[in-house]
Chain A
Amino acid sequence: MLTITQTIKRLFMLFLLLFSFNGFAIEVYEFDDPILADRFKELTYELRCPKCQNQNLADSNSELSLDLKQIVYEKLKAGESDEEILLFMKHRYGEFILFNPEMSKSNALLWTGPIIFLMVFIIFFFRWYLKNREISDE
């Protein structure tokens, strides 16, 4: 005979089992060609999920990401190149979707900023250095 605690335990386990099927819901994209599988991995790693912003497509399971992954999958199977696929995404979601953005007018300062700061620092450092040398020479 089962005690009440045992019954509750068993029911609880059953309950857990019932809801554990989410674990099987991982999308599987099957490729016959391992090169295609690698390119899929790389592309979904490089592309950002527009909905969840700090995740890439590979990590994200939002519905939009699943759709976009499916598109990447279909396009790879259809023989499109990586550039074509990235361009497809860029034309719809903008530069933002690329985790490795290209240099453009809008982000030029971001790219050149550190160099400019470094140069300004070097100029000021040398002026300070030369002034101090003069003082110590005296």
Chain B
Amino acid sequence: MDKSGIIKPAISLAIFCLFIVIFYFLIGEDKTELPSVLIDQPAPNFEVQNLTREGVVHTQEDFKGKITLLNVWASWCPSCYVEHPYWKNYALNKDLTLVGLNYRDKKKKALKFLREQGDFFHWNLFDENGRLGIEFGVYGAPETFLIDPKGKIRYRHVGVVTPEVYQNKLLPLIDKIKKGF
């Protein structure tokens, strides 16, 4: 066989293999998960009531000076019941301030959720009409944001923060933030 007879099939095969490789990596990806535009942006400005402490109002300034994990949850969200027990473990991490963002919920139901599932958050924001959620670009619950001491959003996770996500995604970033990056 002459040289040109082998080059053409070889190129075709190479292109075919390239596509297989591309598809292989695309298959596992969740296409419904959107990247947040708020990464490395300061947390939005807000003024929202505390869920459990009547009359207490929180603003974005409350994130400053500590590393915050902000968890968007609701009593109507089935995955939140799965996720919630994990927060008990994450609450043991003294580097972190855990903040709940109760999203589009009724106060009574939200308080019942905390009574029954336990309240591991330092404080809870009560976002009854979902406007704060929209400021954060939330499109469902649960979602979790990592906010650094300067009040910048560093990471957003959509879905349940499993121990794997905590270990592999959040802890390395938290370490980085602790070192001043």
Find out whether the CB atom of B139 lies under 8 angstroms from the CB atom of A93: yes
**Which residue of chain A lies nearest to B104 when distances are taken between CB atoms in the complex?**
A63
A94 interface neighbour in B32, B36, B131, B135, Cβ under 8 Å:
B36
- B contact residues around A94 at 8 Å (CB): 34-37, 137
B140 interface neighbour in A51, A67, A90, A93, Cβ under 8 Å:
A51
**A8 sits at the interface (CB 8 A):** no
A90 to B134, CA, bound (A): 11
- B contact residues around A68 at 8 Å (CB): 134
A90 to B34, CA, bound (A): 13
Find out whether the CB atom of A92 lies under 8 angstroms from the CB atom of B37: yes
Find out whether the CB atom of A91 lies under 8 angstroms from the CB atom of B134: no
Number of interface residues of B (CB under 8 A): 16
Find out whether the CB atom of B34 lies under 8 angstroms from the CB atom of A50: yes
Mark A34-53 against chain B: 1 for CB-CB distance below 8 A, else 0: 00000000000000001101
- A contact residues around B36 at 8 Å (CB): 94
- A contact residues around B32 at 8 Å (CB): 53
Task: Please give 18 more A-B residue pairs, beta carbons under 8 A apart, in addition to A91-B37, A93-B34, A94-B34.
Answer: A50-B34, A53-B32, A63-B104, A63-B130, A64-B134, A67-B130, A67-B131, A67-B134, A71-B134, A90-B37, A92-B38, A92-B134, A92-B135, A93-B37, A93-B139, A94-B35, A94-B37, A96-B34
Chain B positions near chain A (C-beta within 8 angstroms)? 32, 34-38, 104, 129-131, 134-137, 139-140
